[in-house]
Structure 1
Amino acid sequence: MDVLDDLLSGTRARGGVFNLTILDRPWGLDIVDRAPLALASMLSGSGWVLRAGEEPVRIGERDVAVLSGTEPYVVADCPDTPPRLRIHPGGRCEPLPGAPVDYSARLGMRTFGRRPDGEVWVVSGTYQRVGDVGRRLLSALPPTVVVPARDVGPVMDLALEEIRRDQLGQQSILDRWLDLALITTLRAWFDHLQTRAPGWYRAQHDPVVGHALRLIHDDPAHPWSVRTLAEAAGVSRATLSRKFTGIVGEPPMSYLTGWRITLAADQLDDTADTLETIARRVGYANAFALSVAFKRLRGTTPTAHRHGAV
């Protein structure tokens, strides 16, 4: 498994909220749903994303935007258009001053707007939760990423067909569409960045460092050392350490420790497994060894993390 696969596997939609909002100009959406990750696409028309402290970012027709962070933001037809709708958690639409009284009428199962043939169609999907693995991915992203339609393809158009249905099992299908859209969009964005992509992404194209990274991600519990990773990659320890640190930004053992602790944190959140079980699963001899490493990296104990302590 490559690193992007591993990080995306920790960012899976479960009960994601998908909406189609049909609008007429002038239009503006005040997004206050506090979702940690969202995707949005203009299937008809174009718009702008406005976030505090940032320059407005344009979204062209069928471009896909990846929006990370729980801070509110505005999507509008022009940077100076005031919002007419406020989007709350769960996709609930609230008309704001200046909006027609029927602006947030429900036109379908997950469709809102004044009329079904409006000028602008905005399709969006939100992740309601991301774990530690997902946050590791989000840390590599700016708050707003826009990928041109030519690079991302018709993935959001395909999701639209499912949004407008009302059938059994639809939530599971929409969750998978959201995951597919995220994977397609981020892969296109990282490829476009090339030398400015995160170190762990660029490293996958290096025959030495990429091989070492795949070994770590394929079996994080293995008792890896610089020596065993270097032998597997067919180079000296000095060469592996130098190349790994130069591309990824940290030494191999530091990366391995960070990844193990990230996996442990997710399992502490998502399972009722004992600390001993989790420790062995991620590569530590016992619960004590995991606790020492966890406290050193996170500044808190695994037990406190599980109970929501900071």
Structure 2
Amino acid sequence: MNSLADKRFELADQSKFNADEVVRPNISYWQDAWRRLKKNKLAMISMAVLMILFIMSLIGPGLSGQNYTTLMPEIKNLPPSNTYWLGTDYLGRDLFSRLWKGLRFSIIVAVVAASLKVIIGCIYGAVMAYLGGFVDDIMMRIVEVLNSIPYLIVTLIILVVLGNGYLPLLFALCITNWTSTARMVRGQILKLRESEYIMASAALGASSARVIVRHLIPNTLSLLILDLATSIPYIIFDETVLSFLGIGLQPPAFSLGTLLSAGQEAMAFYPAHLLYPSLLLCLLVLSFNILGDGLRDALDPQLRD
């Protein structure tokens, strides 16, 4: 029987292949997360929108060249024009400049409060999980007690005692939100502390503080970034609600919430005063939420392809 001459059945030359050759390029976890985030078009669009909003919050108040703090009742409630691009409010202040200035304050309050929330919750949850035992029980009971109290009551008490302003508002928003981060970090570290490298570090004499700071917290960094990104829109909404109800920032300080409150009072005759800050708030919160969903997908190692 003649041998088959079809090249499809020829044996491959094994010398051409390297068994140690890595087909897929070796990239780090963060490089892979960024690669997958870039594939999410909605997340990238949201990131671009947020960058535009951040830039406008910095330069927007000075673009029109109008004063947004001086009261000029003689030009109150003007419609949009070449001089006042979005018109003026009920006290004659430029709405365009006030809108971007209010956005800046809302973003600053939200980012700072969310950062403090993550830092406090991370440290508290790491100590609680790593020490365990009686310390974990006591610290966990404190978290459960704080969670059982409606956040609005705690916020009201803090603002009544400390007064209205940026620092009391930051403190109130942080105190009422850090417990969720602490519970999340505790659950993650309870898994990590049984790892071999953690036990080896402790066996070599590393202190509890060193193990927490050098090993445990860095391995929860992806969760903390995700928690930060998803917390910011909720804190923006909380701050807006408090200011809208009149228990947050008080004049002359203002944010999107105070602009919404003022627009609600003039809604019957000047609906645009409520429309502008409402659209900006919706765009800001929606962009953060979409970006947070994109980060959740990008930072999940189980979705790595």
Both structures adopt the same fold (TM-score exceeding 0.5): no
Which structure ranks higher in relative contact order (CA pairs < 8 Å, sequence separation ≥ 6)?
2
Structure showing the higher strand proportion among its residues = 1
Structure showing the higher helix proportion among its residues = 2
